Amino acid sequence: MAGVASRRPGSRHHPGAVSDARTRLKPEIPLTGSYGIPIRDEIELEKRPL
């Protein structure tokens, strides 16, 4: 998923961003999400006007 989203126009992939935010800003972000999948990276999506 991250590899596909990072190549789409208007999206950016930030490896390790959530891990960094958990350490510095918001320790209550869980280590894992649904089905035990680790939460580490952030995908930034941008909706462009028509």
Q: Give residue-wise pLDDT tens across range 24-34.
A: 888 998 999 98
Report the alpha-carbon distance of residue 30 to residue 40 in Å, rounded: 10
Greater model confidence, 35 or 43: 35
Q: Please give the model's pTM, rounded to 2 decimal places.
A: 0.57
> Do the beta carbons of residue 21 and residue 29 sit within 8 Å?
yes
Task: State the DSSP string of 9-47.
Answer: TTEEEETTHHHHHHHHT-TTS-SB-GGG-B---EEEE-P
Q: What is the mean pLDDT of residues 21-45?
A: 88
Query: Is the alpha carbon torsion for 16, 18, 19, 21 positive or negative?
Result: positive
Q: What is the mean pLDDT of the chain?
A: 80
pLDDT above 60 (res 6): no
